[in-house]
């Protein structure tokens, strides 16, 4: 998180960005990240879902909680816990581009490129992870294990 914060500080120090967390998974990572950033910023959340219950995506993306802030002309950094198939993030990034931000970038705690269905550009990445179901640091399975202090692999 500290290394990501250094890079984000370099790029956003004078831009008063909006850090846009994707609920629910990103809130722990976003909380850790913003405490490492010592410049003016705003925090906003959206909730987008493509998961039913369990470990598999439904493939259908829906906006559960939309934006409350106007992002037009603002620098927006989307903060996500994991990039998996890319379907949800592709949907969200397209949605945000229509709002005409000055810039739009993505910061992800983890990336699972082996599962990618659609391309996603990650501008700031914590870890590349294998195709295992992960929990902890905000990552969950049916709302469980999100509060674990480390990223762990869920055994079957």
Question: Which residues are CB-contacts of 70 (< 8 A; sequence separation ≥ 6)?
Answer: 99
Of 35, 7, 34, 10, nearest in space to 21 by CA? 34
123 is catalytic: no
User: Do β-strands 57-65 and 103-111 pair in parallel, antiparallel, or remain unpaired?
Assistant: unpaired
Residue 124's Cα: distance from chain center in Å?
10
User: Do β-strands 152-153 and 134-135 pair in parallel, antiparallel, or remain unpaired?
Assistant: antiparallel
* Catalytic residue selected from 84, 94, 111, 140: 84
- Element holding 61 (H helix, E strand): strand 57-65
Please give the C-alpha separations between residue 105 and each of 78, 85, 134, in angstroms, as whole numbers: 6, 18, 24
**Residues identified as active-site:** 84
């Amino acid at each position: 998180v500290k290394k990501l914060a250094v890079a984000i500080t370099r790029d956003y120090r004078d831009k008063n960005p909006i850090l846009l967390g994707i609920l629910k998974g990103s809130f722990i990572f976003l909380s850790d990240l913003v405490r490492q950033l010592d410049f003016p910023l705003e925090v906003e959340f959206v909730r987008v879902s493509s998961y039913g219950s369990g470990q598999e995506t439904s493939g259908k993306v829906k906006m559960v909680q939309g934006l409350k802030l106007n992002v037009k002309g603002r620098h927006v950094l989307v903060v996500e816990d994991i990039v998996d198939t890319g379907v949800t993030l592709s949907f969200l990034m397209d949605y945000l581009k229509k709002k005409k931000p000055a810039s739009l970038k993505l910061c992800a705690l983890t990336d699972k490129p082996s599962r990618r269905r659609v391309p996603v550009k990650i501008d700031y990445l914590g870890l590349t992870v294998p195709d295992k179901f992960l929990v902890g640091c905000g990552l969950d399975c049916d709302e469980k294990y999100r509060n674990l202090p480390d990223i762990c692999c869920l055994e079957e």
